[in-house]
A and B are shown apart, each in its own frame.
Chain A
């Protein structure tokens, strides 16, 4: 699935990095706990999270996450978008609750990030 399609499914808007909308995402990882993302996420996934501080981007960078989408109508804190631009990580925001965001993406057949890891 392309990032652009995921954005459409989520009804999400790009806050930054829209020029990378055609990138392929390998799966999705959804969590508000950064250690979970590091433990169970796999490279090139879309991270769905309600955590909007700089650590969400730092964690994404460390874990080779492709893009970050904030859920529940949350908007990134000051400095977060700047950091994301610096790291080349697109940032999106949608109004859906985490459960519905995951449900919609899952319905479109996008596999969880962890299944990508297992097939490596």
Chain B
């Protein structure tokens, strides 16, 4: 386990549901920070894509979320804890093509049902837990190159 003293960087951000004007800004901020630290472009890109998909899910489906971004010598971890409707069947939500997006959301370029599968593909470890009517926690972990 990584001890507190090994944390290189820890930041918190908030995301507001339905705020399409700012949607994606937390992910692009995290991306710039990782680039600045000097992580290789493919690692930066994987974290950015996974975080962006999760951030968009908060904007589209939840009310608000706290995003915790943590870098240790071993890994980059992004945790999105949202308050919202939650996901009843996580296994179903993880399936490629499964989406409950409305036409309005589809017109904005989302709703392919590829977000969660994309997050899984780009992370080394993914944990999704949810409680209907309460919210969802998505924890994305990408290992740092050694």
Contacts and interface: CB of A to CB of B under 8 A. Distances in A.
Interface of A: 32-36, 38-39, 43, 49, 51, 53-56, 58-59, 61-64, 79, 87, 120
Nearest to A55: B109
Contact of B52 (A33, A53, A62): A62
B82 interface: no
Give the dominant DSSP class at B's interface.
helix
B112 A33 contact: yes
Interface residues of B, number: 27
Contacts of A59: 24, 52, 109
A38 B27 contact: no
Given A39-B117, A53-B108, A54-B21, 7 more contacts: A34-B110, A36-B112, A43-B41, A43-B45, A59-B52, A62-B52, A64-B45
A54 B23 CA distance: 9
Give the dominant DSSP class at A's interface.
helix
Contacts of A49: 109
Given A38-B53, A38-B118, A62-B48, A55 B112 contact: no
B75 interface: no
Given A34-B110, A56-B109, A64-B41, A39 B52 contact: no
Contacts of A33: 109-112, 114
A120 to B, nearest CB: 8
A58 B52 contact: yes
Per CB-CB distance, the 5 closest pairs between chain A and chain B, nearest first, are A58-B24, A35-B114, A34-B109, A35-B112, A51-B109
A56 B109 CA distance: 8
21 contacts: A33-B114, A35-B110, A35-B115, A38-B114, A38-B118, A43-B45, A51-B109, A53-B20, A53-B108, A54-B21, A55-B108, A55-B110, A58-B24, A59-B24, A59-B52, A59-B109, A61-B24, A62-B24, A62-B52, A63-B48, A64-B41
